[in-house]
Structure 1
Amino acid sequence: MFSKACQYGIRSVIYIWKQSLHGNKVGAKEISEHVDAPEAFTAKILQDLVRKKIIGSLKGPTGGFYVGKEHEIYTLKDLVIAIDGDQMFTGCSLGLNQCSESNPCPLHSEIVIVRKQVVQMLTKKSLKQLAEEVESGETVLARFT
């Protein structure tokens, strides 16, 4: 459902939130190791998320990626849009330029229903809430091997 960049970004931001709940900042190497993602690709995604203000970063020996009060408003939908754009929520699923309510493609009416459900799922909880679920053990962020 999500691009690889989006999958890595979601796992990374949840991990950053989990660490920030304890007052910790984390580097790209640590993040990539804990979320099973390539370090260079993860660093690039994270820098883009910093530019878009989804997360913060500080340079220097006590620096790293972090989140705080100002980031509590963000949901998975915000993160998906920041990484992949809003095409999942707005574009024609068949790639047609003229698809609309008045000029629908063959999938339009079904996709509208699915998109509403996806938006609801992606906005139901904040990224912080997802991290809290991982922290409490309700959900997991790592794959079992």
Structure 2
Amino acid sequence: MGVKMLSESVKDCIRALIYLAINQEKSYVSVKEIAEKLNLPFHYLAKNVQKLVKSGILESYRGPKGGIVFKQPIESIKIIDIIKSLDDDRLFKSCILGFEECSDENPCAIHNRWVVERNHLYNLFNTSLKDIVEDIKQGRISNVKL
């Protein structure tokens, strides 16, 4: 069983955007194609794609040749942007134990340790889609299940 740090929506959309980035030579890629290729629920993915459109990551076009494309270059789209668009950035701001009053001035029992790890996670998720696609194309990632 995997770690549940990221929601299913975020994980599915990261996979979908990697698929879209790899298939950029097409003008528009349909959400239906992505859902089928990645074995994702179409309606659920379509709903989340609309959030990515609203946040300015994607652009959508309706019609027989419609679909989605990136609204900005993939080197400027970070995994953290996807997380923020779908789930907000609570993971990077909240107390890991759930205390409302936890801060640098009023730390919980593990605040100082969590801040270090939270910063590591933020840096990890600050990776661009372009970096991920390059890793896949260069064979540095071998177990890609898109």
Q: Report if aligned partners of 1:28, 1:39 keep a CA contact under 8 Å in 2.
A: yes
**What is the alpha-carbon distance in structure 2 between the residues aligned to residue 68 and residue 130 of structure 1?**
18
Aligned partner of 2:136: which letter?
V
Residue ranges of structure 2 left out of the alignment (5+ in a row):
none
Residue ranges of structure 1 left out of the alignment (5+ in a row):
none
Aligned residues: 141
Answering whether residue 105 of structure 2 is matched by residue 102 of structure 1, we say: yes
Which whole-Å deviations, capped at 9, do the CAs of 1:8-38 have from their partners, x for residues lacking one? 0110111111111x23421111111222211
Q: Quote the residue 1:44 is aligned against.
A: 47
The alignment's TM-score, normalised by the length of structure 2, stands at 0.87
- State the secondary structure of the residue aligned to 1:66: strand
**What is the alpha-carbon distance in structure 2 between the residues aligned to residue 18 and residue 76 of structure 1?**
15
- State the secondary structure of the residue aligned to 2:23: helix
* 1:61 corresponds to which of 58, 61, 64: 64
**What is the alpha-carbon distance in structure 2 between the residues aligned to residue 104 and residue 142 of structure 1?**
40
Q: Quote the residue 2:140 is aligned against.
A: 138
Q: Report if aligned partners of 1:34, 1:142 keep a CA contact under 8 Å in 2.
A: no
**What is the alpha-carbon distance in structure 1 between the residues aligned to residue 115 and residue 85 of structure 2?**
22
% same residue: 31
Q: Quote the residue 1:83 is aligned against.
A: 86
* 1:8 corresponds to which of 6, 12, 16: 12
- State the secondary structure of the residue aligned to 1:99: coil
Which whole-Å deviations, capped at 9, do the CAs of 1:29-57 have from their partners, x for residues lacking one? 11112222111111111011011111111
Which whole-Å deviations, capped at 9, do the CAs of 1:95-124 have from their partners, x for residues lacking one? 11110011111121111010111111111x
Distance 1:38 1:135, change over 3 A: farther
The alignment's TM-score, normalised by the length of structure 1, stands at 0.87
Deviates more, 1:29-38 or 1:62-71: 62-71
**What is the alpha-carbon distance in structure 1 between the residues aligned to residue 47 and residue 137 of structure 2?**
26
